[in-house]
Amino acid sequence: MTLVASAPGRVNLIGEHTDYNRGLCLPLALPQRTTVTLTPRPDLLLRLTSAQEDEGWEGPVDERPRSWAAYVAGVVAVLRDDGLEVPGLDASVDSDVPLGAGLSSSAALECAVATGVAGLLGLDLEDPVVRRRLARACIRAETEYVGAPTGGMDQTVAMLGRPGHALLLDFDDDGVSPVGLPLEDAGLVLLVVDTRVRHTLTGGSYGDRRSECADAAAALGVASLREVSLADVDRLDDDILRRRARHIVTENARVRDSVVALEAGDWTALAALLDASHVSMRDDFDISCRELDLAVETARAAGALGARMTGGGFGGSAVGLVPNTTVDEVRRTVTAAFADAGLRLPAYLVAIPGGAARVDSVG
């Protein structure tokens, strides 16, 4: 028996670094997906290959690989720990989600594997409870097994995303609400600019932000920054902690305002929120970089209504809301600006909100 499953990358429209602060975010699933072909084995071995990696990996299910294979073996290990009788597997991976671009190739890989395993074991993927369980397993695989201290946004949208919609995720009460994103009707395109600066190459600053947020919450005597107001934030003496907390508090408000803007069809208001989010990430949260700032500023100057860096930061991608008549001009201008600055040229993709993880075929 061979089963093929796939899961999408994602782009976050707004709400950055809020997930691990019990906050709000508004991501959408991309049409770009990671596909895994699984064949169960009679033993408890994993044999893993990926079209994106030179080296495969082979070992028993309870061994911990130190390569990309940890994302796959981690999901298998966590699902086994969760009580599922996951067999040994031959797994081959392929993807058109760019790796390390802030578009969550990691969650796409985890969720494709989890969905494939669920399909092999006959779990009901129509059931949202099953999907949330798989998303939780993938979050655990990434944080506990791979050791990347990310929040839960990526896996949640990969398991629950909906075509034509973004998802409002609330990490305080685990709320998931689809929000319509009728870009085409509005003559707009969500243009993703991949700066090709790979955030994995630039150190462990993501974890630093996470601990700074925890420190700010502790200094204010609360369990999470979700509970604080701007007036509380102003009471923080430490300049760095105050700026980190201000980003989280204002970003949660911008996510809420973005949903209101989308529901009212007010794209101008949404665009202004994207711009403000970028400024907050650049100046308060300190997670932007020269290439992301250049992409955002140039896209705006060439006709994007609004733009921001997206994803964890320190490289990766920016996203802009662009009239479809101006997309070519924006691409040309951004590419020219990168060339002028002597930077590696960016790559582009258009974010059309796609569907969640699924079993594609069983044979």
Under rule CB under 5 A, residue 106 binds Mg ion:
yes
Under rule CB under 6 A, residue 71 binds ligand ADP:
yes
Count other Cβ atoms within 10 Å, centred on residue 324: 14
Q: Is 174 a catalytic residue?
A: no
Q: What is the DSSP letter of 56?
A: -
Going by C-alpha positions, the residue among 100, 142, 91 that lies closest to residue 347 is 100
286: left (phi over 0), alpha (psi -120 to 50) or beta: left
Three-class HEC string of 146-178? HCCCCCCHHHHHHHHCCCCEEEEEECCCCEEEE
CB 99 within 8 A of CB 52: yes
**For ligand ADP, the closer CB: 50 or 258:** 50
Tell me which stretch binds ligand ADP (CB under 6 A): 98-106, 128-136, 202-210, 274-282. Answer: 98-106
**Least Cβ distance, residue 263 to ligand ADP (angstroms):** 29
Tell me which stretch binds ligand ADP (CB under 6 A): 58-66, 97-105, 280-288, 302-310. Answer: 97-105
Interface residue with ligand ADP, options 6, 32, 37, 50 (CB under 6 A): 50
**Least Cβ distance, residue 110 to ligand ADP (angstroms):** 9
Tell me which stretch binds ligand ADP (CB under 6 A): 49-57, 127-135, 235-243, 285-293. Answer: 49-57
Going by C-alpha positions, the residue among 34, 14, 31, 37 that lies closest to residue 361 is 37
Tell me which stretch binds ligand ADP (CB under 6 A): 100-108, 210-218, 291-299, 338-346. Answer: 100-108
Under rule CB under 6 A, residue 53 binds ligand ADP:
yes
Under rule CB under 6 A, residue 106 binds ligand ADP:
yes
Q: Which of 19, 154, 194, 284 is catalytic?
A: 154
Under rule CB under 6 A, residue 195 binds ligand ADP:
no
Under rule CB under 6 A, residue 105 binds ligand ADP:
yes
Under rule CB under 6 A, residue 115 binds ligand ADP:
no
Counting residues that bind ligand ADP (by CB under 6 A) gives 20
Q: What is the DSSP letter of 25?
A: E
Q: What backbone phi and psi angles, to 5 degrees, belong to 48?
A: -120, 135
Buried b (16+ CB within 10 A) or exposed e, 52-73: beeeebeeebeeebeebbbbbb
Strand partners, 45: 60
- Provide the annotated active-site residues: 154
List of residues contacting ligand ADP (CB under 6 A): 34, 50, 52-53, 68, 71, 93, 95, 99-106, 109, 148, 200, 311
